[in-house]
Structure 1
Amino acid sequence: MTDSTIETKIVIIGCGIAGLKAAQELYQQKFCQDVVETAPQVLILEARDRIGGRLYTVDGLNDRYDIGAAWHHDILRNPLFQEEHELKKKNLTASKYIFDDDYGIIFDEMGTKLNHDKDLKLEVVQNELEKFVELEYFSELEYPNTSYFKMVQKYLFRYKDFLTDAQIKYLNGSARCIELWHGTNWKKLSGKYAQMDHQGRNAMCLFYKDVVDRMATEFPLDWIKLHSQVCQIKALKDKQERISNRNRNLEILTKDTKNGKITKVLCDYVIVTIPQSVLEQSLYDVPAPGRIEFIPKLNQDIYDSFQNIHYGALGKIIFEFDSAWESKHTRFYYTGAINNNIIDAVRNGQAFNGEYLNKIDSLTTPTYNNTITEQLDPQNYPLLFVNYMGITGKPSLVMLMQDPLTSYIEKLNAQDEKATICNIFKPILLNLFKHLGYAHANNHNGSIYSEILPGLKNIIVSNWTIDPYSLGSFTACYPDDDPIELSLSLERGQSMRIRFAGEHTIMDGAGCVYGAFESGKREAQYILNNYF
């Protein structure tokens, strides 16, 4: 039973960057600009109470922060960055950006700085490891797609005679920093797809809210309908059914997330831009918040491609302090705790086989399923700290973490356990202070956090694994996954009228904001080419 009916031509589900770009492209190509209608001919249905999707800028006490995506990646071929740059040159509305790529500082659980060391030469052997992985996968067409963890261990076993004990130990830490690109553990991560060939530098966006707000002004405001959770998409294939539904081809049911009212939306085309993790729920007949039921069910090729792909969960914690520190380095990598016994295990290994790998596995941080029932120690996981003193001049740290730590910390935050979060990261932060040059000895500011960590006045924690409209962050590849099949099946679409966009539907820019941006443009052009 529906409470109301809306008729339109095109529906876009999700008002993230892909949905915004699709709407912008439709309007810029004159779609409906010259048509006088009583109702919008394009509707963007957004379940949240805001636009932007996984682009989400929050206000802190020191500054603003992007709690979701924060960078323009691959600037040599990033059309969104180029668009923003051109607007900036013309003094038009555009977000700011800063090139914050930095060699950074790598430190361990004792606070020891590991890179730029003339004896350890960690950067040199790290580069050699990456080249080894690349050459291995080029060595034969059917080379097994194993985990990145196993590829690292294969390198250490094969070349241990040319490595020092310290290099064997610390490569087990520095190699794991790749987890902070993918949002998942190196034992789950595909060795074949873990290392990325970056197309230029990265520029931190200051801030994505400005990009989102700018794009939302480039088509009619009444196209956007917030608090509209899509529950069902039905293709009206029967002629009589179409006649009874005003000769439209699709019927979409939405639920108002504030009052629960059901609205029927009749249209001819739909672009579905929800995240891969949320779309996956549509494959199974299990009710879940954010799940969309497709009638008929999603095509077999889409179903099959989802069996060979996964997604990560990159989370963030923002630590805000009340006084400045010396360092302007923008990036600090923490390796995670490393078991010294791993050196002897590598040295004494006689054969690279299952027994050997099980021994190494037992000396490293275990993986976990999605359901975490025990306490995790952040000291066992690599972390990335972005230093805002080197970016905006504000005494704040933005920390990036990966699953399973992301799920664990976001669950603690949902239980209002911020003090617990401060306590469990305290040892790592105290070691980081040595490299920041932060004089914190008696710096109590009256906040509950400064009682735990001197000078700390506020923390902000992401909630992407808890948010039913994101359920993580972006595409990640496990061993034997095939990201190409997913992007191809979704680019083909469910039909010519049911289309898909988002970072998971495109190869060039997969996992990146600009990939989602380009996919929105692609689908708008597809509909324009077919509509007329």
Structure 2
Amino acid sequence: MPPHTTIVIGAGMAGLAAACTLQEAGYDVKILEGRDRLGGRTYTEHSLGVSNDLGAAWIHGPLANPMTTFAKRFDVGTAYTDFDNRFGNSTIAFDADGSQLDTAQFTTGMRFFNGAYDRLFTSVLYERPSRDVRSMADLYRSGLPGVGELSEVERKGFYYGSVVRVQYGDAADLHEIDWRLSNRYVKLPGGDLILPGGGFGRIVAGLADGLTIETDTVVESIAYGEDGVRVRTNRGEERADHVIVTVPLGVLKAGRIAFFPALPAEKQAAIQRIGYGHYEKLALKFPRCFWPTEPHRLNYLPGTQPELFTSWVNVAHYSGEPILVAMHAGSRARHINRWPDDKYIAEAMIVLRKIFGADVPDPVAYVRTEWETDPFALGSYSYSAVGGYPEDRPTLAAPVAERVHFAGEATHPRYFGTVHGAWETGVRAAREIMSNA
């Protein structure tokens, strides 16, 4: 058995991947987790009577995706989510006054955006734009072709696709996203799967079974040198040959873990340049369904700024339970995070009653997320920010002194912001240690 000992910081998907890989190879490995639970930014909650993923909620691209394999292994029920309304009945949209928009025209507009963006992206690359064109907002100002040919409802669908959905994908606003770097993301094929039958929590529990994990253990500092690493926590000090740091980018940005000696300047700069977004959810359970259960999602265009409650997941479609989940991203997520629970719910009900009528009942239970203020997350997931460089993610991923290794979705050059990306980076970090044994 190899003599090397490794401490993994964080029991999210990257940390579990690293620990599983090392343990299967015969290495001595322990995970230190600051929370009282496992999973990190995958968190399945059950108080509403269903498996409610309050963090990561989809397997993006189930073909050749390790999460699909794990879902089958651990008997997690999955269902397809049709974001683009390919089948014509999975999305319905409502205008600012609550009236339902023509679904076919709205969907045409959303799809038209995809083609227009691809054409614009290709043409702008060919024309070698000035350095002033950095953000998605800058790119849009260059002009998305063909918009003038759309009907009014199609333009609303186009707007929803070009602004609202992009913000949900990156958890950031258009002016914050670098369009070149964002396009380095690679989407796996096969659509998107939601996990109503057990959630990511069941995968986390299955992967964690048999691993050595200490919860409620907050890492404060890491000292490293030729003789190994010393990890100081709220419980004392631990020594090992290697450490794998899998904490979210927001925790690194905030300097919650001190490094001795300090991390290389180029790594510190990369940590600050990579964007870290915000994505929050409000799940409302009602005494009955007052909305159609067939659509996967409900979309709303408020027509005022900030645009709130624009996207709802219809849990009733997947489980039959009368639950709607409102989602907010970027500055909108930060906006609603300033609201107390009663105001948040009241504002949501104003929208739902505008759409479905004054007799809509009050919710009987609710759950909200606050990832922005969670001390072990300080946000949701990474995005490619204006001011960044292509080498930032590889720089963040690079080991230091062959002792300190880094993993997590923000370190992946192609699958950033995803659970499978986090998993792959954990495996990569473990193999770095194994290759130097």
TM-score past 0.5 threshold: yes
Q: CA deviation at 1:513?
A: 0.3
- Among candidates 183, 188, 196, match of residue 199 of structure 1: 188
Q: CA deviation at 1:208?
A: 0.8
Q: How does 1:7-26 map to 2 (within 5 A)?
A: 9-26=5-22
Say whether 1:420 aligns with 2:370. no
Match of 1:37 in 2: none
Which structure has the larger Rg over C-alpha atoms?
1
Q: Measure, in 2, the Cα distance between the counterparts of 1:44 and 1:8.
A: 15
The gaps in structure 2 that reach 5 residues or longer are: 86-90
Q: Is the 8 A contact 1:129 1:155 kept in 2?
A: no
Q: Deviations over 1:409-467 (max 9, x none)?
A: 2343xxxx322111122232224437xxxxx72xxxxxxxxxxx614111210010011
- Among candidates 225, 230, 252, match of residue 219 of structure 2: 230
Q: Deviations over 1:208-261 (max 9, x none)?
A: 1100100111x34xx211111111111134xxxxxxxxxx411111114xxxxx
Match of 1:214 in 2: 206
Say whether 1:333 aligns with 2:260. no
Q: How does 1:102-501 map to 2 (within 5 A)?
A: 102=83, 103=85, 104-114=91-101, 116-118=103-105, 121-141=108-128, 144=131, 145-155=133-143, 162-163=149-150, 171-177=158-164, 178-194=166-182, 198-200=187-189, 201-205=191-195, 206=197, 207-217=199-209, 219-220=210-211, 223-237=212-226, 248-256=227-235, 263-282=236-255, 291-325=256-290, 326-337=292-303, 365=305, 380-381=307-308, 383-412=310-339, 417-433=340-356, 441=359, 454-482=361-389, 484-501=390-407
Q: 1:210 to 1:313 in 2, by over 3 A?
A: same
Q: Measure, in 1, the Cα distance between the counterparts of 2:302 and 2:413.
A: 31
Task: Give 3-state SS (helix, strand or coil) of 1:390's partner.
Answer: helix
Q: Is the 8 A contact 2:110 2:154 kept in 1?
A: no
The CA RMSD measured in Å over matched residues stands at 2.6
1:250 is aligned with what amino acid? V
Q: CA deviation at 1:143?
A: 5.2
Q: Measure, in 2, the Cα distance between the counterparts of 1:119 and 1:384.
A: 14
Q: Deviations over 1:353-387 (max 9, x none)?
A: xxxxxxxxxxxx4xxxxxxxxxxx5xx24632110
Q: CA deviation at 1:271?
A: 0.1
Q: 1:431 to 1:122 in 2, by over 3 A?
A: farther
Q: Deviations over 1:177-236 (max 9, x none)?
A: 21111111223223335566532211112311100100111x34xx21111111111113
Q: 1:397 to 1:193 in 2, by over 3 A?
A: farther
Q: Deviations over 1:476-520 (max 9, x none)?
A: 1233423x4222112222221100010011123211000111111
Q: Measure, in 1, the Cα distance between the counterparts of 2:224 and 2:279.
A: 35
Match of 1:97 in 2: 78
Q: CA deviation at 1:26?
A: 1.2
Q: Measure, in 2, the Cα distance between the counterparts of 1:399 and 1:124.
A: 23
Stretch moving more, 55-64 or 403-412 = 403-412
Match of 1:64 in 2: 51
Q: Is the 8 A contact 1:173 1:336 kept in 2?
A: no
1:215 is aligned with what amino acid? L
Task: Give 3-state SS (helix, strand or coil) of 1:198's partner.
Answer: coil
1:204 is aligned with what amino acid? I
- Among candidates 23, 38, 52, match of residue 51 of structure 1: 38
Match of 1:373 in 2: none
Q: Measure, in 2, the Cα distance between the counterparts of 1:304 and 1:477.
A: 14
Q: CA deviation at 1:139?
A: 1.6
Q: Deviations over 1:305-354 (max 9, x none)?
A: 2343211011111011111343311112223415xxxxxxxxxxxxxxxx
Q: Measure, in 1, the Cα distance between the counterparts of 2:355 and 2:176.
A: 28
Q: Measure, in 2, the Cα distance between the counterparts of 1:105 and 1:27.
A: 47
2:251 is aligned with what amino acid? V
Q: Measure, in 2, the Cα distance between the counterparts of 1:100 and 1:174.
A: 16
Q: 1:127 to 1:204 in 2, by over 3 A?
A: same
Q: Measure, in 2, the Cα distance between the counterparts of 1:494 and 1:302.
A: 9
Q: 1:487 to 1:120 in 2, by over 3 A?
A: closer
Q: Is the 8 A contact 1:13 1:45 kept in 2?
A: yes
Q: Is the 8 A contact 1:100 1:391 kept in 2?
A: no
Q: 1:109 to 1:150 in 2, by over 3 A?
A: farther
Q: Measure, in 1, the Cα distance between the counterparts of 2:333 and 2:254.
A: 21
Q: CA deviation at 1:303?
A: 1.9
Q: Measure, in 2, the Cα distance between the counterparts of 1:506 and 1:120.
A: 32
Q: 1:124 to 1:170 in 2, by over 3 A?
A: closer
Query: Could you tell me the TM-score, scaled by structure 2's length?
Result: 0.88
What percent identity do the matched residue pairs reach? 25
Q: Deviations over 1:105-125 (max 9, x none)?
A: 232322233453459952353
Q: Measure, in 2, the Cα distance between the counterparts of 1:120 and 1:463.
A: 31
Q: Deviations over 1:139-166 (max 9, x none)?
A: 245554432233334325x656545566
Q: 1:389 to 1:264 in 2, by over 3 A?
A: same
Q: Is the 8 A contact 1:234 1:251 kept in 2?
A: yes
Q: Is the 8 A contact 2:287 2:361 kept in 1?
A: no
2:193 is aligned with what amino acid? A
Q: Is the 8 A contact 1:107 1:333 kept in 2?
A: yes
Task: Give 3-state SS (helix, strand or coil) of 2:285's partner.
Answer: strand
